[in-house]
Amino acid sequence: MKRIGILTGGGDCSGLNAVIRAVVRKGLLDGFEIVGIKNGWKGLVENDTMSLNINTVSGILPKGGSILGTSRTNPYKKEGELQKVKANFKKMGLYALIAVGGEDTLGVASKLVDDGISNIVGVPKTIDNDLSATDYSFGFDSALNVAMECIDRLHTTAESHHRVIVVEVMGRHAGWIATEAGIAGGADVILIPEIPIDIEEVCSVIQKRHSRGKTFSIVVVAEGAKVKGSGMVLQEQKLDAFGHVHLGGIGEALAGEIEKKTGYETRVSVLGHIQRGGSPTAFDRVLGTRLGVKAVELVRTKKFGRMAALQGIKIVDVSLKEAVRELRTVDMELYGIAKIFFG
Ligand code: F6P
C-alpha cells in the first residue's frame, strides 16, 4: 500500500482539520495509507509522526487548529536539517507528501521538489489570504468573520463612550482581513500594508465625521501597515525562522497619535490570535474539504509539484513554484469600494 504523509506548517488557522479529514477519507478510499507528520517540517526533521485513520479524524471537522500541530521550522535554515528531512522521508516510507501551509511552508515544499523530494503537492492555507494562484485560502473566511464580529461589538462601546477605537487585525504583507472585515463591519477608516498611513488624513476623516454629529469612530488597521515617512518604531525586531519580524504595535501607536492630534478619547483593541482560533466557518470547512480531496487526486494522478487552488468556483491545480512566486496584495478596486464609506 502506498503511503502519503501530510503535514500542516506555519501559523495555524481554522479549517486545517477539514483538510486532514478529507485527505484521510479520500486517501483511504483510493487505497493509500495516510500518516500524519507532527508540527510541520519539524516532524520531518525529527521523524515525529502519528497514524491517521478513519477513527482519528472522526469529529475533527468543526475543531479549530490542527490535530497534527504546527511550527515555523524551516529545514533550510539550520545546517543538517535538509539531510534529516530527506532521510526521514525515506525512513517513513513515504510515497508522497501533502504540505498544507502558506508562503513559507509551501516555499519549502517547492524547494524540496527541486532538491530531490519530487512527490510533493501543496494545499494553500493562510488567514492573510495573500497566496497568489488561489482566489481564497481557507482560514481567511473564519478569521474575517471573527474580526467582523469584534468590530460590531466595538461599535456599541465606542458609541456609548463617544470614543475612537482602533482595531488592529492580522495581515502581514496584505490587508485582506482589514479591508473585508472593515467593509463588513462598517469601519470608518481602513488602513492596510499596501498603502502607507497618512496620520493627518486619518485624523481629518475622523474630525469630519465628528463634525456631522457622529461622536465615535472605528479605525481598522492591519498589523503590517506602516506610517508614511515616520521614524516611529512600531515593531519588535524579533525574527522567526523565515526571517519575518514579529509584528504588533501599530494600533497602539496610531491610537496615541489620533488622541494627541484630535483630542478625542481613543482606545485600541488588538484582536491577535483570536482571529486564528475557533471553529471554521461553513465556507472554510467546504473549501478545506475540497482542497484536501483535490490534493489526494493530484497524488493519485502523479501531478507532483502542484498546488490545489480555488479559481472562481472551481478547484484546479497550479504550479507550486508559481503559487509562491509572489504575494497577492489587496485589490485596489475592492479598497476603493471600502473608501466610499470612510468618514
Ligand atoms: O501568517 C499568518 C499570520 O497570522 C500573520 O497574519 C501574523 O503576522 C502571523 O501569522 C503571526 O504569527 P505567530 O503565530 O508566529 O504569532
User: Does 284 or 231 have the greater pLDDT score?
Assistant: 284
Domains of the chain from N-terminus onward: 3-139+280-325 (3.40.50.450), 141-277 (3.40.50.460)
Q: Does the pLDDT at position 343 exceed 90?
A: yes
DSSP of 2-68: -EEEEEE-SS--TTHHHHHHHHHHHHHHTT-EEEEETTTHHHHHHT-EEE--TTTTTT-TT--S-TT
Task: Evaluate whether 74 touches 105 at the Cβ level (below 8 Å).
Answer: no
What is the Cα–Cα distance from 337 to 59, expressed in whole angstroms?
Answer: 40
pLDDT at 232: 54
Q: Does the pLDDT at position 233 exceed 90?
A: no
Q: What is the pTM of this model?
A: 0.95
Task: Evaluate whether 103 touches 327 at the Cβ level (below 8 Å).
Answer: yes
Portion of the chain with pLDDT greater than 70, in percent: 98
Region 160-188: what's the mean pLDDT?
Answer: 98
Portion of the chain with pLDDT greater than 90, in percent: 94
pLDDT at 230: 63
Q: Which atom of ligand 1 is nearest to the CA of 240?
A: 15
Q: Which atom of ligand 1 is nearest to the CA of 10?
A: 1
Q: 12, 100, 127: which to mutate for ligand 1, most atoms within 8 A of CB?
A: 127
Q: Establish whether 128 is a catalytic residue.
A: yes
Of 30, 48, 115, 128, the catalytic one is 128
Closest CA to 313 of 283, 282, 279, 281: 283
**Per residue in 312-337, pLDDT tens?**
999 999 999 999 999 999 999 999 99
Q: Which atom of ligand 1 is nearest to the CA of 13?
A: 4
Distance 226 CA to ligand 1 centre (A): 17
Task: Evaluate whether 251 touches 202 at the Cβ level (below 8 Å).
Answer: no
Helix, strand or coil, per DSSP, at residue 278 = coil
pLDDT at 243: 85
Q: Does the pLDDT at position 247 exceed 90?
A: no
Cβ < 6 A, ligand 1 pocket: 11, 102, 126-128, 170-172, 223, 247, 276
Beta-bridged to residue 319, according to DSSP, are 306
